[in-house]
Amino acid sequence: MRQSVAERGTAGSTFDQVAREAGVSRGLLHYHFGTKERLIAEVVRRDAEIRLEHLGSELAGAHTVDEVIAALLHSLEDLVERDPGFVALRFELFTSGRRNPEIAAEFAALQRATRSYVAELLAAKEREGVLRLADDAEAVAAVLLSLADGLALSLLGEPEHDHRATLGAATAAARTLLLGND
């Protein structure tokens, strides 16, 4: 489904195409997921879990604020360069949720889980003395994730633009959030 949506968009991706490309029956997809939107939700949920586990591993080895910021930036760059379809799927899931309350609830649950996990990672780094959060860990995580969402859209939506200054400004904003009132 991820590959199909990246190539054709949600409207152009059907259970028939996805089943054919995956080598499974259409009925099997319907049995396990029910709708195309629920399949997208599951793909996004699983991809997010994998990405967050990787981020957690990278942050575990961070001993300075600069290393934390580098890990966050690397995660964003890796996402945009190696898996732009994930960004498209997340936004497709959000868009589908605007029309479907069940999908909206799935998207909201994914947002909460992601924010909570990142907040836990940041709070752990604060307890280690690596950083001093400018606000509650959940609030800082929400801002950093929102910043990453916007940056991903900008990087993917305008690939020919030189984004170095934008990434520099985002890094400065992250530093402020991670260093508190220093």
| Predicted pLDDT of residue 39 | 83
Nearest by Cα to 166 from 67, 73, 78? 73
Q: pLDDT (tens digit, 9 = 90+) per residue, 97-122?
A: 888 888 888 889 999 999 999 999 99
As a whole number, mean pLDDT of residues 68-75 equals 94
User: Does position 182 have pLDDT exceeding 70, yes or no?
Assistant: no
Distance CA 97, CA 126 (A): 35
User: Does position 12 have pLDDT exceeding 80, yes or no?
Assistant: no
| Predicted pLDDT of residue 95 | 86
Q: How is 91-138 classified by DSSP, letter by letter?
A: HHHHHHHTT-HHHHHHHHHHHHHHHHHHHHHHHHHHHTTS---SS-HH
| Predicted pLDDT of residue 76 | 92
Residue with the larger pLDDT of the pair 72 and 22: 72
User: Does position 124 have pLDDT exceeding 90, yes or no?
Assistant: yes
Question: Which residues does 14 contact at the CB level (< 8 Å), separation at least 6?
Answer: 36
Nearest by Cα to 112 from 176, 45, 38, 60? 45
Token pair for 106: 């799935």
Per-domain residue ranges for the chain?
37-179
pTM over 0.75: yes
Please answer whether residues 102 and 40 qualify as being in contact, where contact means their C-beta atoms are separated by less than 8 angstroms: no
| Predicted pLDDT of residue 71 | 95
Q: Residue 38 corresponds to which amino acid? A: R
- The CATH classification number of 37-179 equals 1.10.357.10
Provide the pLDDT confidence category of residue 11 given band limits of 50, 70 and 90. confident
